[in-house]
């Protein structure tokens, strides 16, 4: 187990049904106090002792004593189990996993870029940056409107650009906003796919000429089983070699994820 990580019981204190998705609030003050945006918590999703019963969840909200996760409406048996456990259940949690997003000292303008469902993992960061009086723009390419973050979930001062990708929307792409937004930003925080990050590197080169380390942090998309570095399920080509994302990430500098040479 890495420094700062803990295995604890967290109480399911609230279940909100939002369309086909459930949002679960888990209460555990010691873990909540260590949790930052971009750090998953692995939740045991069954009563048995079978290894790797855990599922990773990125917090979409963090308070002093609790955090909220989104439970997708998919066919995963672990998610199905979580959909049925009653409020008050104590869930075995392992986390926080690895390194999350870090707002550098002196930052004034934060550009958060999200792609699809992954954009939700940026929400605690958006709230944190706004609370620190930073100017925040959140630009999201949603695959469907159901995945889209409602504007009401954001602090009022946050500028929100939502580009849904469905048949009712025009041809505008998230990338169409980058010429305006990238020169404005002091830092970029992104959550999406690796191809999305490759397009981001190209756009930074066009609109800022230079991609310097420290300008952009990105959440690497991968699978976590153990969260402790033992199973190798999360190994990926990042930071100059084959790395365990649960130990070195999951948030990396953009220059560590996309070859920039």
* Whole-number Cα distances in Å, 194 to 68, 143, 182, 219: 26, 16, 18, 9
Task: Tell me if 246 contacts ligand FES by CB under 6 A.
Answer: yes
Among residues 234, 236, 238, 258, the one that binds ligand FES under rule CB under 6 A: 234
Q: Please report whether residue 227 would count as binding ligand FES according to CB under 6 A.
A: yes
List strand residue ranges (DSSP E) for the chain, in order.
Answer: 6-18, 21-27, 41-44, 54-57, 61-62, 66-71, 90-95, 109-115, 135-142, 159-164, 187-191, 216-219, 235-238, 241-244, 251-253
Q: At CA 247, angle to CA 140 and CA 199, rounded to 5?
A: 30
Is 225 near ligand FES (CB under 6 A)?
yes
Tell whether residue 231 is a contact of ligand FES (CB under 6 A). Answer: yes
Stretch that binds ligand FES, among 9-17, 23-31, 129-137, 218-226 (CB under 6 A): 218-226
How many residues line the site for ligand FES (CB under 6 A)? Answer: 12
The answer to whether 10 and 26 are in contact (CB under 8 A) is yes
Q: Could you tell me the two tokens for 16?
A: 């909100």
The neighbouring-strand residues paired with 253 are 217
Stretch that binds ligand FES, among 23-31, 73-81, 158-166, 229-237 (CB under 6 A): 229-237
Among 1, 131, 157, 230, binds ligand FES (CB under 6 A): 230
Between 157 and 232, CB nearer to ligand FES: 232
Tell the smallest beta-carbon distance from residue 82 to ligand FES (Å): 19
Nearest to 12 by CA among 62, 68, 94: 68
226 binds ligand FES (CB under 6 A): yes
Closest CB to ligand FES among residues 52, 184 = 52
Backbone φ, ψ for residue 76 (5° rounding): -65, 130
Enumerate binding residues for ligand FES (CB under 6 A).
224-227, 229-234, 244, 246
């Amino acid at each position: 187990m890495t420094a700062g990580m803990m295995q604890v019981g967290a109480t399911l204190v609230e279940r909100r049904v939002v369309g086909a998705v459930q949002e679960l609030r888990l209460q555990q003050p010691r873990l909540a106090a260590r949790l930052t945006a971009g750090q998953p918590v692995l939740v045991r999703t069954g009563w048995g002792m079978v290894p790797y019963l855990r599922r990773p969840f990125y917090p979409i909200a963090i308070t002093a004593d609790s955090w909220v996760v989104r439970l997708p409406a998919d066919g995963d048996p672990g998610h199905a189990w979580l959909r049925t456990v009653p409020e008050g259940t104590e869930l075995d949690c392992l986390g926080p996993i690895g390194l999350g997003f870090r707002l550098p000292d002196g930052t004034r303008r934060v550009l958060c870029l999200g792609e699809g469902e992954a954009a939700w993992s940026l929400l605690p960061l958006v709230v944190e940056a706004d609370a620190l009086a930073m100017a925040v723009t959140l630009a999201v390419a949603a695959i469907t409107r159901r995945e889209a973050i409602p504007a009401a979930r954001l602090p009022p001062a946050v500028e929100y650009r939502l580009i849904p990708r469905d048949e009712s929307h025009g041809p505008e792409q998230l990338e169409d906003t980058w010429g305006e937004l990238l020169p404005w930003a002091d830092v970029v925080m992104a959550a999406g796919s690796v191809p999305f990050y490759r397009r981001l590197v190209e756009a930074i080169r066009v609109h800022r000429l230079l991609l310097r380390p420290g300008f952009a942090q990105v959440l690497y998309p991968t699978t976590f089983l153990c969260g402790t570095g033992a199973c190798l399920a999360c190994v990926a080509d990042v930071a100059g070699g084959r790395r365990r994302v649960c130990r070195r990430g999951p948030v990396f500098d953009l220059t560590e994820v996309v070859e920039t040479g």
